[in-house]
Amino acid sequence: MKHHGITRRRLLGAAGVGAATAAAAGGLARCGGSRRRDELFFGFGADTVSLGVYESIIDLYRRKYPKARISYTYADHFGFFQRLPLMFRAGTAPDVMIVAESWVSGLSQLGGYADLTSFMRADGLTEDRWVPGSLNPARIGGEVLCLPIMVYPKGIAYNATLLAERGVPIPQPGWRERDLVETAAAVGSGGDRIWGMPSTFGLFPYDVATVHGGLPFSVETRTMTATDERMVSAVELISDLIHEHRAMPVGAQSQYAVNFTSGIFGMELFPSYALTAYREQIGNRFEWGVVPYPEEWVGTYQNNNVAIFGGSQRKDEAWHFATFLSTDPDAQRLLQPIGTPALATAADEWQRDLAPEDRELPWEQMIQGMGNQLVAYQGGIFNKVWDVLGQKVESVQNHAAPVREVLREVQDRGTEILRA
């Protein structure tokens, strides 16, 4: 089985510009099917692989439910996200849509998603149908805004060949953060173009903030929490890896701004959607493996979901199709090429069907670890807070700025943003 990556990290930051661009670009339906008044309308972002997957699922639904009438539309992932805010405001969004976890929180402020709580209660649908943490992105403001279809377990990838050359032990499940730091420091400090970890870890402030279970703000109270000790210890970890242990290059060393597949790094954060890229780009150049996060780590939750448009006039039909995507074993099986199925039984089958070398990865531990991971809430003014945090983390990386001082600045500036 293959995973194909879905780049979503920067989508929310471009939402405002995207809406204007989309307005000028004309109808989304030109990228896929056309909308008909007597049919359920399904929308999603897709590359070539995922387009084929979703078309297969639509065909399966039509075969299982011959009376169902459904059409669809699609664009590339970025283009689809760009259109959603405009379609929500105009009341023209698809009845059913595929949304990443960050899109749920980011666009929930527009009121575009239907609350699915009553539907779940009526059908007796409970969270234990899916892998741990699957409803984490859905629960916003006391509502359930989506159902999971795919999840992306995470761990730490390690270059077994490089570690062996350096005489460094292979990381093992149950390891601690101090083991990660010692391993990274022992692998190299760039003197011979070898490093413990790439600095890309620090490029995404979401991944830094959640390492120890922190977030820079509370969505519920709309107050800043950037000076929380969990935030402090997470940013100090990045600072120590760069400046004390010299196990990670700073941003100024852009010649090293390549990823794990280059072979010059001992370890890297591993998202499961990168599996295919790892296999294709690394090939036989070196041996590698994956270990679960260190015991102290929490991390950022990532998945894909199915949501229903709050303005849909076909909510019962939409719910039927949404639950088909999320809970039908055959539909979940079709999703395997682009992610780990969210349905617990389908995830077990997915693991058994992997190629032997991929089946050996610690999927069960990584999937179980998702239950504690945090959703990096994004969208609206929260994006401005993330931007401030990203700039300040960069100053820690590049200039060894004092961590507590930097986070105090984030706290103060974020407070101004949230009050405005």
Q: What would the pLDDT profile of 316-338 be if each residue is shown by its tens digit?
A: 999 999 999 999 999 999 999 99
Q: State the pLDDT at residue 75.
A: 95
Q: State the pLDDT at residue 25.
A: 36
Q: State the pLDDT at residue 233.
A: 98
CA angle 391, 393, 398 (to 5 degrees): 95
Per residue in 59-87, pLDDT (tens digit) is 999 999 999 999 999 999 889 988 999 99
* Same fold across 12-151+302-361 and 154-300+380-419: yes
> What's 154-300+380-419's CATH class?
alpha beta
Band the pLDDT of 2: cuts 50, 70, 90: very low
Q: State the pLDDT at residue 35.
A: 60
Per residue in 100-130, pLDDT (tens digit) is 998 898 788 888 999 999 999 999 999 999 9
Record the pTM: 0.87
Closest CA to 86 of 168, 17, 10: 17
Closest CA to 337 of 349, 348, 350, 325: 350
Residues 188/266, Cβ–Cβ less than 8 Å: yes
Q: State the pLDDT at residue 68.
A: 95
The domains of the chain are located at 12-151+302-361, 154-300+380-419
Q: Which residue has the higher pLDDT, 344 or 188?
A: 344
Q: Calculate mean pLDDT across residues 169-174.
A: 96
Instruction: Give, in order, the Cα–Cα distances in Å from 200 to each of 205, 367, 374, 405.
Output: 10, 23, 20, 23
Q: State the pLDDT at residue 188.
A: 81
What's the mean pLDDT when you consider all of the chain? 89
Least confident of 55-64, 128-137, 245-254, 286-295: 245-254
Per residue in 365-375, pLDDT (tens digit) is 999 999 999 99
Q: Residue 4 contacts by C-beta under 8 Å, 6 or more apart in sequence? A: 47, 49, 50, 273, 276, 337, 338
Q: Calculate mean pLDDT across residues 232-258.
A: 81
Q: Calculate mean pLDDT across residues 242-263.
A: 77
Q: State the pLDDT at residue 34.
A: 53
The gap between the terminal CA atoms of the chain, to the nearest Å, is: 48
Which CATH superfamily groups domain 12-151+302-361? Periplasmic binding protein-like II (3.40.190.10)
Across the strands, what pairs with 224? 217
Per residue in 17-59, pLDDT (tens digit) is 343 333 333 345 444 445 667 899 999 999 999 999 999 999 9
Q: Calculate mean pLDDT across residues 297-316.
A: 96
Residues 340/6, Cβ–Cβ less than 8 Å: no
Q: State the pLDDT at residue 257.
A: 54
Band the pLDDT of 289: cuts 50, 70, 90: very high
